[in-house]
Amino acid sequence: MKITLFQSDTVWKRPQDNYLQIEAQLEAHRDSDLLVMPEMCTTGFVTDPMDGELERSQDVEERLAALSQRFETALCGSFAVREPGMGGIWHNYNRCLFVTPEGGIWRYDKHHLFNPGGEGTAYTPGIRQVTARWKGVRFALSVCYDLRFPVWLKYHRGGERQRPVGPAEISPAHEYDVLICCANWPIQRQLAWETLIRARAIENQVYVVGVNRVGHDNICPYSGGSKVIHPYGHVISECQDNVASTCDFEPDPEWLNHFREKFPSQQDSDSFRIW
Q: Exactly one of 13, 39, 61, 154 is catalytic; which is it?
A: 39
The verdict on whether 262 is a catalytic residue reads no
Q: Which of 41, 76, 96, 144 is catalytic?
A: 144
Run of H or E residues at 215: strand 214-216
Judge contact between 127 and 169, C-beta under 8 A. Answer: yes
Of the listed 13, 110, 154, 227, which one is catalytic? 110
Residues 47 and 227: their CA atoms lie apart, in Å, by 26
Say whether 52 sits in a helix, a strand or coil: coil
Per the annotation, the verdict on 154 as an active-site residue is no
CB 94 within 8 A of CB 55: no
Backbone angles phi, psi at 226, to 5 degrees: -70, 130
Reply yes or no on whether 110 is catalytic.
yes
Residue (of 29, 102, 109) closest to 65 by Cα position: 102
CA–CA separation, 24 and 28 (whole Å): 6
Contact in structure between 126 and 111 (CB atoms under 8 Å): yes
Active site residues: 39, 110, 144
